Amino acid sequence: MQSSQLLVERNNPALGRHDLASEPLRADVPLTREAACHFICAADDELPELLATARLARDGFKPGVITYSRKVFIPLTNLCRDYCGYCTFRRDPGQPGAHTMTPDEVLGVARAGEKLGCTEALFSLGDKPELIFPQMRETLRNLGFRSTLHYLEAMCDLVLRETSLLPHPNPGLMSSEWISRLAAVSPSMGLMLETTNESLLATGAAHDNAPDKVPVKRLRTIEEAGKQGVPFTTGILIGIGESPEDRVNALLAIRDLHQQYGHIQEVIIQNFRSKPEIPMRNCAEPNRGDMLRTIAVARLLMPDVNIQAPPNLSDPDYETLLDAGINDWGGVSPLTPDFINPERPWPHLQQLQQRTNAKGY
């Protein structure tokens, strides 16, 4: 593999404390933390070389192939005990749209997806709603389960037994016992780290009133999955009040866990999108440059890990994300909407293929 030629000038004031002159940007050597902190804020004239190096690293990892996962999304319940400032998915009981799916509904979606050639059932759901909502406790009691996780376990088992789809649960924080139980009925699972910045838990910040978004708890879940050898999907959410350095710290935390346990199957770089109904509606969205820099740095920190970005959150020109070194579009469904960002439909699969092909893949 070639290395890129970018050498940063020794006296570049943008470098701050770190002297990168002796540290050329290379596709075959993972970035140091200092270099990552620099390049995540790369100047415009550095960007082409940064992206070219990230593409080289991607091509050294999986040359010529960009993948996606054809799946159905199963929003098992949109009740949630957290109140993230950017979320339009969650509901309180009684709010319009509040819903917990029945087993028949779960199976109906899975079977319809099976007919369309889907291979995975991604369960997305709120975190432990029964802890604060008696209505959810009653719903679960009527269904015959003690907790949302017990119900999720049964629904994963149902999909696994009755269809050809592979369940992939995303239920939020999990104990070691629950990782083990869910691993028995699903070959992989996921939890977005989102950030390692604890100040986002402060009053008025993105994770104010979101007890399941404490970074150390999320890292513990990801680590526990590693200890048990469970293939795991995680990632970061950018534009929720974190700094560029925070993004590097979160990526490094994921890299460290992957180096220790080797279980991270993909890292998602997700961009915050504003919506009129959310508390964070007046916050600025990350721009394309932020996404490109973050993806490129993620690629160069983890050259041998799948790096993905959701195409629907970067419409209409999502294919430019390929320039920064992603090798996977993540889950795209021919059947179900993106329940987390319902206003942003998945691209048609044919269009996704055409645009990916046009980039040379």
User: At closest approach, how far in Å is the CB of 81 from ligand SF4?
Assistant: 7
Report how far apart, in Å, the C-alpha atoms of 29 and of each of 10, 54, 60, 65, 306 are.
20, 11, 12, 22, 17
Pick out residues in 158-177 that bind ligand SF4 (CB under 6 A): 172
- The nearer residue to ligand SF4, 82 or 130, going by C-beta atoms, is 82
Rounded to whole angstroms, the Cα distance separating 86 from 207 reads 9
| Cis? peptide before 24, omega within 30° of 0 | no
Q: Which one among 80, 155, 159, 305 touches ligand SF4, defined by CB under 6 A?
A: 80
91 part of the interface to ligand SF4, by CB under 6 A: no
Q: Which one among 46, 49, 120, 212 touches ligand SF4, defined by CB under 6 A?
A: 212
- The nearer residue to ligand SF4, 270 or 308, going by C-beta atoms, is 270
Q: Which two tokens stand for residue 207?
A: 């994770």
Q: Which residue has the tokens 């999907």?
A: 233
313 part of the interface to ligand SF4, by CB under 6 A: no
- The nearer residue to ligand SF4, 39 or 178, going by C-beta atoms, is 178
8 part of the interface to ligand SF4, by CB under 6 A: no
Of 63-71, 83-91, 152-160, 253-261, which part binds ligand SF4 (CB under 6 A)?
83-91
User: At closest approach, how far in Å is the CB of 316 from ligand SF4?
Assistant: 25
User: At closest approach, how far in Å is the CB of 75 from ligand SF4?
Assistant: 9
Q: Which one among 36, 37, 87, 165 touches ligand SF4, defined by CB under 6 A?
A: 87
User: At closest approach, how far in Å is the CB of 80 from ligand SF4?
Assistant: 3
Of 217, 206, 226, nearest in space to 270 by CA = 206
122 part of the interface to ligand SF4, by CB under 6 A: no
Q: Which one among 210, 257, 264, 300 touches ligand SF4, defined by CB under 6 A?
A: 210
Rounded to whole angstroms, the Cα distance separating 267 from 260 reads 16
- The nearer residue to ligand SF4, 148 or 186, going by C-beta atoms, is 148
Residues 6+ apart with CB under 8 A from 331: 68, 69, 71, 73, 120, 122
Edge-to-edge strand list for the sheet holding 189-190: 166-170, 120-124, 67-75, 328-332, 306-308, 264-271, 232-238, 189-190
- The nearer residue to ligand SF4, 145 or 339, going by C-beta atoms, is 339
Half-sphere exposure for 142 (CA within 13 Å, toward CB): 10
User: Distance from CA of residue 94 to its chain's centroid?
Assistant: 29
Q: Which one among 84, 152, 297, 307 touches ligand SF4, defined by CB under 6 A?
A: 84
Report how far apart, in Å, the C-alpha atoms of 317 and of each of 77, 288, 310, 352 are.
32, 10, 12, 11
Q: Which one among 82, 130, 246, 319 touches ligand SF4, defined by CB under 6 A?
A: 82
Q: Return phi, psi of residue 180, to 5°.
A: -65, -45
Task: Catalog residues that contact ligand SF4 under the rule CB under 6 A.
Answer: 80, 82-84, 87, 89-90, 126-127, 172, 210, 212
